[in-house]
Structure 1
Amino acid sequence: MKSDDRELQSAKKFDSSRADEYETQSRIALAGYEACHELAACMLAATLGPGGNRRILIVGVGGTAQEITAVSRIEPTWRFVGIDPSEPMLARAAQRLEEQGLSDRTELHLGTLDGLSTDATFDAAMMLGVLHHLPGDDAKNAILNDIANRIAPGAPLILACNRYVYAKKPHLLAAWGERWRMHGATSEDVKVKLGKILQGADPPASEDEVFSLLANAGFERPEGFFSSLFWGAWIAWRTAL
């Protein structure tokens, strides 16, 4: 199975029903959802500098398009290209961008990065909440390489995903369940919600593995800036040619 086929296969679980609940559920599943996206925007602005006509690639934009919302709060002249293989999730993103008046600064594409020309060189890329949904290292390496081939040498990548094998961190998994219960879920609800989250998920086994994947794709100097239970967020730079 090709890497883009794996991405499309992973996207199938983000059907209409899951897309409908994503806005609320993502904020419960990730304690600090808003903070992570705000800090990601701040890290990007601190790296690229304020102002200008920057073009930012957003991989996995579907659902809330929160990356674009957060960056736009401090950089009103930057433009975005967002891509997502899930049609329902991309539709939710389009709706959110329209509501916030950001549609004219954003191009949305349904599909995978294979369908996006390598001639379009971006000033930076963001990929939050995608990597742990891709099965196996081959698919993870492929998407990171696809990003590297579409951003300028020396450009930053903001990456965020779950890391650790869930079953090997039972205390974190239990705390994750309590997070849902804190927001009104019953014990049975928690089992269902965790089951949905774990469905088909294959996170990197450690932060070191995240760094290894980045290095294999030509990214250097990874630096963490946010952590929440299984979740981590980093900035890294495409190796300069």
Structure 2
Amino acid sequence: MDAYADPDAVARYAERPPRLVPGFADLQRMCTQLLAESAPTDARVLVLGAGGGLELRTFAQAQPHWRFDGVDPSDAMLALAARTLGAHAHRAQLHHGYIDIAPDGPFDAAACLLTLHFVPLHERVPTLAALHRRLRPGAPLVVAHMSFDQHDGARARWLHRYADFAVSSGIAPEQAEHGRAAVAEHVHILSPAQDEALLREAGFSRVESFYQGLGFRGWIALA
């Protein structure tokens, strides 16, 4: 599901997360707060799935001495991230590709927001483990993505709730239904228990849930 190959989708990207993800702005603020609990004031921060630059901008505005490495597989979205960062762009190095192209670090903190649900299931633990290897011992990672029960009709319920929230945010019903069907077909969603287990399997400890917005969940964990 490569929506970001479409220049119009890229141009309108900043409009979409607040209309699809409940509490999107507060999610970014919470992530900033949680990373800052243990990251130094001059932290080097790795952001996986940095295209668009929305979380990079939030982090940079809140923490004027943090430096960033952002990784994303879309050139167009990385270009948008640079524009979104504006005056903060000089504090970020943007890398085209996947986690294997990220610098070795060590990083003081990392974030992966609204990204892991696009990673195929067989690549989820290797991706998390690659993040873990790039972090200093005890450094925080925040993740947030779609995560809900997959059994006994729960998957269908949560996907319909996703579409209903989009409609309540002003998205046309036919577009919301198209989005629901695309998520159902292409997005790799696990249950919260499975997501937490994969973080631990990848080497993270003290895995704590800090956010739920309908079918989206967020965790903080330590390397």
TM-score (norm 1): 0.85
What is residue 216 of structure 1 aligned with on the other side?
201
> Is the 1:132–1:202 Cα contact (8 Å) retained in structure 2?
yes
Matches of 1:54 and 1:186, distance apart in 2: 42
Matches of 1:184 and 1:74, distance apart in 2: 29
> Is the 2:125–2:201 Cα contact (8 Å) retained in structure 1?
yes
What is residue 213 of structure 2 aligned with on the other side?
228
After the TM superposition, which residues 1-241 of structure 1 pair with which residues of structure 2 at under 5 Å, given as runs?
A: 12-16=2-6, 17-48=8-39, 51=41, 53-63=42-52, 65-98=53-86, 101-118=87-104, 120-136=105-121, 138-164=122-148, 165=150, 168-204=154-190, 206-238=191-223
Equivalenced residues, count = 220
Task: Give 1:199 shift.
Answer: 4.4
Matches of 1:189 and 1:70, distance apart in 2: 28
- Percent sequence identity is 28
Q: Which runs of 4+ in 1 moved over 4 A?
A: none
List per-residue Cα deviations over 1:69-102 (Å, max 9, x = no partner). 222233111111101011111111111112xx11
Matches of 1:183 and 1:169, distance apart in 2: 21
Provide the secondary structure at the position in 1 that maps to 2:12: helix
Matches of 1:33 and 1:131, distance apart in 2: 16
Matches of 2:67 and 2:114, distance apart in 1: 21
Matches of 1:233 and 1:23, distance apart in 2: 20
Matches of 2:68 and 2:108, distance apart in 1: 10
**Structure 2 residue runs without a partner (length 5+):** none
Instruction: Give the letter aligned to residue 18 of structure 1.
Output: A
> Is the 1:42–1:71 Cα contact (8 Å) retained in structure 2?
no
Instruction: Give the letter aligned to residue 82 of structure 1.
Output: G
> Is the 2:140–2:222 Cα contact (8 Å) retained in structure 1?
yes
